[in-house]
Structure 1
Amino acid sequence: MNQPGAPAVAAAESGPRGPDSDTVGRTRSRRQVVITMGGLLLAVFLASLDQTVVGTAIPRIVTDLGGFDRFTWITTSYIVASITFVPIVGRLSDLYGRKAFFIGGILLFLVGSVLAGASQTMNQLIAARAVQGVGGGAMMALAFTTVADLFAPRERGKYTGYVAAVYGFSSMIGPVLGGLITDNLSWHWIFYVNVPLGSAVIFLFIRFFPNVRPAKRKHRLDYPGMALLIAAVVSLLVGLSLAGVEYAWSSPQIIGTLLFAAVTAIAFIVVEWRSADPIMPLSIYSDRIVSISLAVTFLTGFAMFGTIIFIPLFFQAVLGTSATSSGSFLTPMMLSMVLAAALSGQALSRFGGHYRIQGLIGFAIFLVGLVFTSQMTPDTSFLEAVAFITVLGFGVGITYPCFSISVQNAVPAQLLGAATSATQFFRQIGGALGLAVLGSYMTARFHSRALEALSAEVQSAFPSHQLDDLAENPQALVNPEALDRLRASISGQDEQLLAQLLESLRSVLSSSISEVFLVVTVSVVIAFAMVIFLPESPLSDRRPHQADQPQKTA
């Protein structure tokens, strides 16, 4: 009798399901597995660290290289390149094996690191970061898939939890580490430091990484599919990055970019249906477990990234903390997320892999945290705010390993790379959409109500152009220099007017951020409802592949 959710894919892609765990134990030593996992976790650490480590070094980079109008692309180019190549590398590893692509991804990442450290202009740095992003995307795409190759479904949970925990930990310490390296060495070394660590990973992988070989047959590379996927994803992400920042959502530039993304996405789907070896096999989406899991993953990314970006803003602009302090207040939330991901993975392995139940528990806790955070005001204490976001982080962490495991358990071995990378892809696309849409929503809500909240006395005391600027961007709430300029504009008048202005702006910003959290709450409720209908297929004790012995080195 077929397990719920699995047969459609299995029928579409036939192939050996793999040996039993006893055979696997004889084939691969515990030492090889431990060393491979160690190298894999270090690779994940480097790839995820480079998404956040640059932030604290940007002021120094701009001072040295110039290009203030383009500095946001130091991060954006990395993220766009990383997301774009995740599904491509995942699928190619199904067709040609993981090892070469993982090592190639690390090499590309290191080449990008050297080029970034040696950059003499802002454009050179942006291009180097894109090269880094392609390599980093390959590393992230194959990390979770390699766990699936190394372990049977019942064992994957705890190791997937470890990978998720390392990802969260490295993202958390990235800004701190970037600041330390920049202050004590130079910004160049936030890139150069990758070289010795990445080289160690390459050495370990050459010697110990299992060489899982797919069934030998001729493959016709899906070049049209890859080209259309790159065009669709890049135009979507660039459009979302510029919308509401460089251009209005209604501008011809944004409408044209997003329309191009939609047209190329439709063309991509048509090409994939007709391709003999599609880069993104659409057959996997006919499986109910896979389709629900990926939809939930998309909503999780939307909610998680859309929430995390506004919490530091609340601490700085509403509660009045410094940028450094707001980062430290985030630490308990990130630690709870890391801890919950590790514990959730352990629970999946120890208690039978009830990913649906654990997903429901995680989203329920996430919702509790969101309800509390949506009620925060300027009168909320620091301790209360930290407690609320810590609950939120714990809920997110519980969900993190669940849906990678559900997807991997639902597809045959030949599609593990494509399916697993799809979970990363949809989470990141959801996150990019969440950042863009929720950021624009919050800005619009603040702008529409900021001036209305000011008393007539306050409006008459300040130049109208300054008030209009504040309604567009309340930088006086977070930037001491902007606050000083505002204070100078009412020199000789009652300072109480400035206090009234700031209090009104904080109140409006607080309510605008609260509305964002309510929108996020709706997306999490939808995800919770979808998980209720997620079939729960028993996790197998059988691994998908028979791996070779570690290669001998001369």
Structure 2
Amino acid sequence: MTTERIDRASVGLRSERGPILLAVMLSIGLVAIDATILATAVPSVVEDLGGFTQFPWLFSIYLLAQAISVPIYGKLADLRGRKPIMLLGIALFVLGSVLCGFAWNMPALIAFRLIQGLGAGAIQPMGMTIVGDIYTVAERAKVQGYIASVWGISSFVGPTLGGVFSDFISWRWIFFVNIPLGLAAAWVLLRRFEENVASTTRHKIDYWGTILLAVGGSLLLLGLLEGGVMWNWDSVTSIAILAVSAVLLIAFALVERRAAEPVLPMWVFGQRVLNSANSSALLVGVLMIGLSTYVPLYAQGVLGTSALVAGFALAAMTLGWPIAASVAGRIYLRLGFRTTMVFGAAIVIVGSVLLLTVTSDSSVLYLAFACFVIGIGLGFSASPGVVAAQSSVDWRSRGVVTGANMFARSVGSAVGVAVFGAVANAVVASRLGSSHEDLESLPGSVLAPAIHDVYYGAAAAAVLLIVAVLFMPNRVTEHPRT
């Protein structure tokens, strides 16, 4: 009989869990800060390196690399253990940061951002998987709040550091600052996180599935991110990219049915808990990209605030998220996962309605309050979904499940970019007679209705979110952590 054993040391002794959690939070902090720190430094980067028309790829290539690598790392972690994949991710992220800091032109910086993205694709799911390994459902009720607080703090620290480095030192330190943080996290994991994965099974790597997922998924995200921006939606380029991605992903699904150890097993799409958690994660991705893209734009272009104030309006969402996530655990332990997530989704709808009442005469504080309410709702609906998904499987499948959930959120972000961009451009085209890619330069009288219609789209996504979470069971049978 085939057997696998995960030693108690593989999930850490209770006395070691504190330092391990600190290392995980530090590692996730690297990714969280990097998500916002570069945005405020783009003018300095372009002034130094040139390549103004290419700078959007600094974000697109990072998102592509991170999103596609997440499910692959998740499977590798189930085969080889969490520790080596986490350390690989930190190493790639730090290497990419060093190279970015020494970049000599925009193409080089874009290429090095890809390496950073590959590192981030391992760090975030491995961090969440390790937390799922070493803490019970009851314990994760509190720990999820700690993890969420990393994102909340980073939403303030990232833009501030980006501005300080750009104005007073050099934009290159945006990347160099990752080096000591990454090394510190790696050192703690090496010293404190003991993982002995003993197995009598000879694993088979699903090479064909990995290749098809990587290429097909990359083309899908590329088509969604750049459609309507780099090329028209009805252009030959757009149609060809999306068609090829569809063919490759269909081939991927067929290959996975026959693979001995598929990189993304089809049973992930056949369980009620996972389908609800992943569909809600996708919708959370849609909502987050809609807010992060259009709320600051509305604050600056319509309400007339500075970039810094606009950033803080958005940060109100990431402040509400960890507050709710830290409380959500107490609720789902008493009332159940579905009840908690429905409560959160209902609050998201309330926040979305508040967004729809924002006008050009509104205070930026009112806009921030609407974002804060949405953040509260997302904290109650997103965090319990991850816990429920991880708890529904054992150690051998937890990496795959966590990776699939985060991949769903990334796909949701790409879908949100495409849908909201199309909505905004449609409104602009109806008013100006043509689409307008540079929304920042539009007058407030045109920008306001365009973004207002985006808010309608966000409200629709919030309604779909409440539908998705209704399928979540109220109670999930927890599998052993080892």
Whether the TM-score (by the shorter chain) exceeds 0.5 is yes
2:321 corresponds to: 337
Letter in 1 for 2:170: S
2: CA distance between counterparts of 1:287 and 1:472?
41
2: CA distance between counterparts of 1:284 and 1:426?
12
1:530 corresponds to: 468
1: CA distance between counterparts of 2:5 and 2:462?
35
2: CA distance between counterparts of 1:381 and 1:539?
47
Residue 342 of structure 1: how far off its partner (Å): 2.5
Letter in 2 for 1:43: S
Taking the TM superposition and a 5 Å limit, the aligned residue runs for 1:310-329 are 310-329=294-313
1: CA distance between counterparts of 2:439 and 2:54?
22
1:394 corresponds to: 376
Asked if 2 retains the 8 angstrom alpha-carbon contact of 1:236 and 1:257, the reply is yes
Asked if residue 44 in structure 1 is aligned to residue 22 in structure 2, the reply is no
Asked if residue 544 in structure 1 is aligned to residue 477 in structure 2, the reply is no
1:99 corresponds to: 83
Q: 1:259 to 1:172 in 2, by over 3 A?
A: farther
Taking the TM superposition and a 5 Å limit, the aligned residue runs for 1:113-262 are 113-213=97-197, 215-262=199-246
1: CA distance between counterparts of 2:439 and 2:34?
29
2:450 corresponds to: 512
Normalised by the size of structure 1, how large is the TM-score?
0.82
2: CA distance between counterparts of 1:185 and 1:235?
38
Asked if 1 retains the 8 angstrom alpha-carbon contact of 2:276 and 2:469, the reply is yes
2: CA distance between counterparts of 1:423 and 1:434?
17
2: CA distance between counterparts of 1:509 and 1:188?
33
Asked if 2 retains the 8 angstrom alpha-carbon contact of 1:36 and 1:208, the reply is yes
1: CA distance between counterparts of 2:136 and 2:335?
12
Asked if 2 retains the 8 angstrom alpha-carbon contact of 1:98 and 1:212, the reply is no
1: CA distance between counterparts of 2:423 and 2:137?
41
1:371 corresponds to: 353
Taking the TM superposition and a 5 Å limit, the aligned residue runs for 1:251-290 are 251-290=235-274
Q: Which moved more, 1:323-332 or 1:267-276?
A: 323-332
1:431 corresponds to: 413
Letter in 2 for 1:272: E
Residue 27 of structure 1: how far off its partner (Å): 8.6
Q: 1:360 to 1:59 in 2, by over 3 A?
A: same
Q: Which has the higher contact order (CA 8 A, sep 6+)?
A: 1
1:403 corresponds to: 385
Asked if 1 retains the 8 angstrom alpha-carbon contact of 2:290 and 2:416, the reply is yes
Asked if 1 retains the 8 angstrom alpha-carbon contact of 2:340 and 2:381, the reply is yes
Q: Which moved more, 1:194-203 or 1:319-328?
A: 319-328
Residue 205 of structure 1: how far off its partner (Å): 0.8
Letter in 1 for 2:138: R
Residue 327 of structure 1: how far off its partner (Å): 1.4
Letter in 2 for 1:283: W
Q: Deviations over 1:28-72 (max 9, x none)?
A: 443310000000100000022112211111211112211122111
Identity of aligned residues (%): 35
Residue 365 of structure 1: how far off its partner (Å): 0.6
Q: Name structure 2 gaps, 5 residues minimum.
A: none
2: CA distance between counterparts of 1:77 and 1:356?
36
1:419 corresponds to: 401
Residue 511 of structure 1: how far off its partner (Å): 2.5
Asked if 1 retains the 8 angstrom alpha-carbon contact of 2:156 and 2:312, the reply is no
Asked if 1 retains the 8 angstrom alpha-carbon contact of 2:273 and 2:392, the reply is yes
Residue 17 of structure 1: how far off its partner (Å): 10
Q: Deviations over 1:399-440 (max 9, x none)?
A: 221111111122222100000111111011101110121112
Asked if residue 360 in structure 1 is aligned to residue 342 in structure 2, the reply is yes
Q: 1:296 to 1:472 in 2, by over 3 A?
A: closer
Letter in 2 for 1:421: G
Aligned to 1:533, the other structure's residue is in SS state coil
Q: Deviations over 1:279-314 (max 9, x none)?
A: 001112211111122112111211222233111111
Residue 145 of structure 1: how far off its partner (Å): 0.5
Aligned to 2:199, the other structure's residue is in SS state coil
Work out which of the two has the higher radius of gyration on C-alpha atoms and give 1 or 2.
1
Question: What is the aligned residue count?
Answer: 481
1:4 corresponds to: none
Q: 1:214 to 1:370 in 2, by over 3 A?
A: farther
Asked if 2 retains the 8 angstrom alpha-carbon contact of 1:447 and 1:472, the reply is no
Asked if 1 retains the 8 angstrom alpha-carbon contact of 2:286 and 2:416, the reply is yes
Q: Name structure 1 gaps, 5 residues minimum.
A: 1-13, 452-467, 478-504, 546-554
Q: 1:346 to 1:172 in 2, by over 3 A?
A: farther
Q: Deviations over 1:180-223 (max 9, x none)?
A: 12222211111111111111111111111130516331111101
Asked if 2 retains the 8 angstrom alpha-carbon contact of 1:377 and 1:511, the reply is no
Asked if 1 retains the 8 angstrom alpha-carbon contact of 2:6 and 2:196, the reply is no
2:275 corresponds to: 291
Asked if 1 retains the 8 angstrom alpha-carbon contact of 2:12 and 2:195, the reply is no
Q: Deviations over 1:143-168 (max 9, x none)?
A: 11001110123322322332222134
